[in-house]
């Protein structure tokens, strides 16, 4: 079971909770760009952003793409692959 850390961006009880890399954020707006989500979570823009949909599908979110947030939406950095050393 994964635990999440809570980092409140807005001090009101109204807003949308989104989870980025297992950390919760509370935002006022239901519309955010990929760039705004990455900035909020401290993700370098070069890393990229993936939205995890309830059916398990992963969608790459562009920097200028607008996301219509639903309560509890999940996002994460894309996996980084390292090439193995050949012998």
32 found inside a domain: yes
Q: For position 50, which CATH number holds?
A: 3.10.20
pLDDT in tens, the chain (87 residues): 333 444 444 334 678 899 999 999 999 999 999 999 999 999 999 999 999 999 999 999 999 999 999 999 999 999 887 777 655
The whole domain housing 65 covers: 5-76
In total, how many domains does the chain have?
A: 1
83 found inside a domain: no
Q: Enter the DSSP assignment of 24.
A: E
82 found inside a domain: no
pTM over 0.75: yes
86 found inside a domain: no
Distance in Å from the first CA to the final CA of the chain: 38
pLDDT at residue 9, as a whole number: 41
């Amino acid at each position: 079971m994964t635990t999440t850390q809570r980092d409140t961006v807005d001090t009101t009880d109204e807003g949308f909770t989104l989870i980025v890399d297992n950390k919760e954020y509370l935002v006022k707006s239901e519309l955010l760009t990929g760039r705004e989500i990455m900035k909020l979570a401290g993700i370098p823009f070069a890393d990229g952003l993936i939205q995890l949909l309830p059916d398990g599908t992963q969608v790459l979110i562009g920097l200028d793409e607008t996301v219509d947030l639903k309560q509890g939406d999940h996002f994460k950095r894309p996996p980084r692959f390292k090439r193995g050393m050949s012998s």
